[in-house]
């Protein structure tokens, strides 16, 4: 494997570009912004994401969920840590493996479950599923399946905020696969030229469906692209939630201060197939085993216990509570019918 995969183990990579040299960035950032309450929340949202994921896998295997089920296992720290660095007045444009960010922004489990199972009353009326929805009250604007398409949309969102003198920041996401789509380039170039308050998280989970990094791009790190755009770029360990948070907090601050966009590459591993129909046999077993040791939730749980932020009992209670809430959400959703058929012919336009 390439250096970025191996070097991402253990210590995070830090890589500055654009107007900032990597030497300007201390090797270890103070985490003073996070208190224990924050840490508990980070852990909670990561657990919520994992719990949701496991529930969807169960439903899929039971034939009770249809369409694609895109696991985010392994991505919890990146999705949660990044979204936690935003204000509620900022706008989140997540991708399909960023369910953790929805919980950070206060989206309800019930709403997400209805949406994923296309039941009556779901946020998108059954017109679409997964995390593709938008909820203006929480400033969440989901993705479309065409990778990269929402990066220019997020750029336009904050372009207009900036025109009105507001200090809104947008955070959006792309994978190692989607980073090769032209939209990525056009949007980041435009955002850099306009110095837009945009933070792009590149979730490098090693595979674009079955295609490994080595067949996707030839640069060393995906954050290297920042040099070409004249914006800030950094590559970090995406399994360390506090590191992700701290890195993104700085990117958000830079954005808000008018210093323009950032590309944060968070190195992770997609622990399951592209979607649940895919057994991912193309991934070398040793690679998965290596990343198993770096499960973001297990790592953070250990860290919280060591630091005395939470006790074993508290964590066990929390897991039990989340499991019960999930079972109720599933039962409630499954008790509901699909939307009436005629809904499919409504609202192609707004008034």
Partner 1 sequence: MPVLTFLEAISDALRYEMKRDESVFMLGEDIAEYGGAFKITKGFLEEFGRSRVLNTPISETAILGAAIGAALNGMRPVAEMQFMDFVTNGFNQLVNVASTTAYRWGMGVPMVVRGPAGGGVGGGPFHSRNSEAWFAHTPGLKVVYPAFPADAKGLLISSIRDNNPVVYYEHKGLYRKIREEVPEGEYIVPLGKARIVREGRDASVITYGSMVHESLAAAEDLEKEGVSVEVVDIRTLIPFDEETVLASVRKTNRVLIAHEATLTGGFGGEIAARIADRAFEYLDAPVRRVASFDSPTPFAPTMEKEVLPDRTKILFELRNLLAY
Give the footprint of partner 1 on this chain (CB under 8 A): 91, 124-125, 127-128, 132-134, 136, 141, 144-146, 149-164, 182-183, 186-187, 189-190, 193, 347-351
Residue 175's φ and ψ, nearest 5 degrees, are: -100, 180
Q: Kindly state the smallest distance separating residue 60's Cβ from partner 1, in Å.
A: 22
Q: Nearest distance from residue 301's CB to partner 1, in Å?
A: 36
CA-derived radius of gyration, the chain? 20
Shortest CB 169 distance to partner 1, Å: 13
Tell me whether residue 154 or residue 333 sits nearer to partner 1 (CB atom). Answer: 154
Residue 70 or 190 having the CB closest to partner 1 = 190
Is residue 278 within 8 A of residue 209, CB to CB? The reply is: yes
Least distance to partner 1, CB of residue 235, Å: 24
Residue closer to partner 1, measured from CB, 273 or 339: 339
Give the residue with the Cβ less far from partner 1, 8 or 155.
Answer: 155
Nearer to partner 1, 189 or 303 (CB): 189
Question: 């970025």: which residue's tokens?
Answer: 4
Nearer to partner 1, 128 or 332 (CB): 128
Residue 335 has which token pair?
Answer: 């008790």
Q: How near is the Cβ of 67 to partner 1 at its closest, in Å?
A: 14
Q: Which long-range contacts (CB under 8 A, 24 or more apart) does 149-153 make?
A: 149/181, 149/183, 150/93, 150/95, 151/93, 151/183, 151/184, 151/187, 151/188, 151/200, 152/183, 152/186, 152/187, 152/190, 153/93
- CB closer to partner 1, 11 vs 87: 87
Please state the closest distance from residue 277 (CB atom) to partner 1, in A: 23
Q: Which is nearer to partner 1, 141 or 232 (CB)?
A: 141
Q: Pick between residue 5 and residue 130 the one whose CB is nearest to partner 1.
A: 130
CB of 234 to partner 1, least distance (A): 23
247 or 262: CB nearest partner 1: 262
Query: Closest approach of Cβ 185 to partner 1, in Å?
Result: 8
**Shortest Å, Cβ 245 to partner 1:** 25
User: Smallest gap, in angstroms, from Cβ of residue 155 to partner 1?
Assistant: 5
Q: How far apart are CA 48 and CA 322, in angstroms?
A: 7
- The answer to whether 46 touches 76, Cβ cutoff 8 Å, is yes
Length of the chain as a residue count:
351
């Amino acid at each position: 494997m390439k250096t970025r995969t191996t070097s991402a183990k253990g210590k995070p990579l830090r890589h500055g570009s654009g107007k900032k040299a990597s030497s300007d960035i201390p090797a270890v950032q103070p985490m003073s912004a996070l208190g224990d309450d924050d840490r508990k929340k980070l852990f909670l949202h990561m657990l919520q994401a994992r719990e949701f994921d496991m529930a969807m896998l169960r439903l899929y295997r039971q034939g009770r969920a249809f369409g694609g089920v895109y696991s985010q296992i392994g991505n919890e720290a990146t999705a949660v840590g990044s979204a936690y660095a935003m204000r509620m007045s900022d706008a989140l444009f997540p991708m399909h493996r960023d369910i953790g960010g929805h919980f950070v922004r206060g989206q309800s489990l019930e709403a997400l479950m209805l949406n994923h199972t296309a039941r009556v009353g779901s946020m998108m009326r059954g017109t679409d599923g997964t995390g593709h929805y938008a909820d203006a009250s929480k400033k969440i604007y989901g993705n479309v399946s065409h990778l990269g398409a929402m990066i220019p949309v997020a750029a336009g969102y904050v372009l207009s905020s900036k025109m009105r003198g507001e200090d809104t920041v947008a955070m959006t996401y792309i994978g190692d696969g989607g980073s090769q789509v032209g939209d990525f380039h056009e949007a980041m170039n435009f955002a850099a030229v306009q110095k837009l308050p945009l933070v792009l998280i590149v979730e490098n989970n090693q595979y674009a469906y079955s295609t490994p990094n080595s067949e996707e791009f030839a640069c060393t790190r995906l954050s290297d692209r920042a040099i070409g755009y004249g914006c800030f770029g950094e590559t970090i360990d995406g399994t360390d939630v506090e590191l992700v948070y701290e890195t993104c907090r700085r990117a958000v601050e830079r954005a808000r201060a008018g210093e323009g966009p950032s590309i944060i590459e968070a190195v992770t591993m997609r622990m399951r197939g592209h979607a649940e129909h895919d057994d991912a046999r193309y991934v070398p077993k040793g690679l998965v085993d290596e990343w198993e040791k770096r499960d973001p939730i297990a790592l953070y749980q250990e860290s919280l216990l060591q630091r005395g932020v939470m006790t074993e009992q508290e964590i066990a209670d929390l897991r039990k509570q989340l499991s019960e809430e999930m079972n109720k959400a599933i039962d409630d959703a499954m008790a509901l019918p699909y939307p009436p058929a005629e809904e499919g012919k409504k609202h192609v336009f707004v008034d």
